[in-house]
A and B are shown apart, each in its own frame.
Chain A
Amino acid sequence: AQSVTQPDIHITVSEGASLELRCNYSYGATPYLFWYVQSPGQGLQLLLKYFSGDTLVQGIKGFEAEFKRSQSSFNLRKPSVHWSDAAEYFCAVGSGGYQKVTFGTGTKLQVIP
């Protein structure tokens, strides 16, 4: 069965600092990987997705993620964090086609001035 682990429950960074959120997945074949962001009380917004091809994926809001098959990871990065990036971030893995997508437990990002 597929699974996703986000090892960091909370992360605090200073505004302007770089950010990396970790995501590890477990899946037998080539996975479909996603990152979503959720502001308090809101739905989830898709940041980026990886299906195949270039392992470095660019998303919205200046985010990027790198798929590393050897490490079963899909970490999310941003070179300079803005206060508006404070939110909860979810990594997810799917198997393609009409199959269930599994979400990680989320990482809450706090941005301090």
Chain B
Amino acid sequence: EAGVTQSPTHLIKTRGQQATLRCSPISGHTSVYWYQQALGLGLQFLLWYDEGEERNRGNFPPRFSGRQFPNYSSELNVNALELEDSALYLCASSSADSKGADTQYFGPGTRLTVL
């Protein structure tokens, strides 16, 4: 079974540009989560999509946005990039089991560097 995939692996942008990150969930998973992991700041929850809808959002400005497509893959868009947006962006997918428990499985991440 293929795991969560993310592209690109690395992305280099300059301040003010836009970045688009992509995530394909595990087959059969309908939920996709995005996290930002900046140096020394741990995992910060960004966005959660399920069945094409945004279900929850972390404490990030509106220039962080995304969407989920009918095939459950997802995009994260970051507009007006700032230097502090440099981080590893992790995507996870999940599907509730018979007990309604939700286990997240992570992709390898996209390393975004803003110059």
Contact = CB atoms under 8 A, between A and B. Distances in A.
Interface of A: 32, 34, 36, 41-46, 49, 51-52, 90, 94, 96-106
A97 B106 contact: no
B67 interface: no
Interface residues of B, number: 27
Contacts of B6: 43
A97 B90 contact: no
Main SS of chain A's interface residues?
A: loop
B96 to A, nearest CB: 6
Contacts of A32: 101-102
B31 to A, nearest CB: 7
Given A41-B88, A42-B108, A44-B106, A52 B42 contact: no
B50 interface: yes
Interface string B95-109: 010011111111111
A42 B109 contact: yes
18 contacts: A34-B104, A36-B106, A41-B109, A43-B6, A43-B90, A43-B107, A44-B92, A46-B105, A51-B99, A90-B43, A96-B99, A98-B96, A99-B102, A100-B45, A100-B48, A103-B42, A103-B43, A103-B45
Contacts of B22: none
B101 A51 contact: yes
Given A43-B109, A103-B42, A49 B100 contact: no
Contacts of B90: 43-44
A98 B109 CA distance: 22
B56 interface: yes
Contacts of B100: 96-97
Nearest to B90: A43
B31 A98 contact: yes
Given A97-B96, A98-B50, 15 more contacts: A32-B102, A34-B103, A41-B111, A44-B92, A51-B101, A96-B102, A97-B101, A101-B33, A101-B104, A102-B45, A103-B42, A103-B43, A103-B45, A105-B42, A106-B43
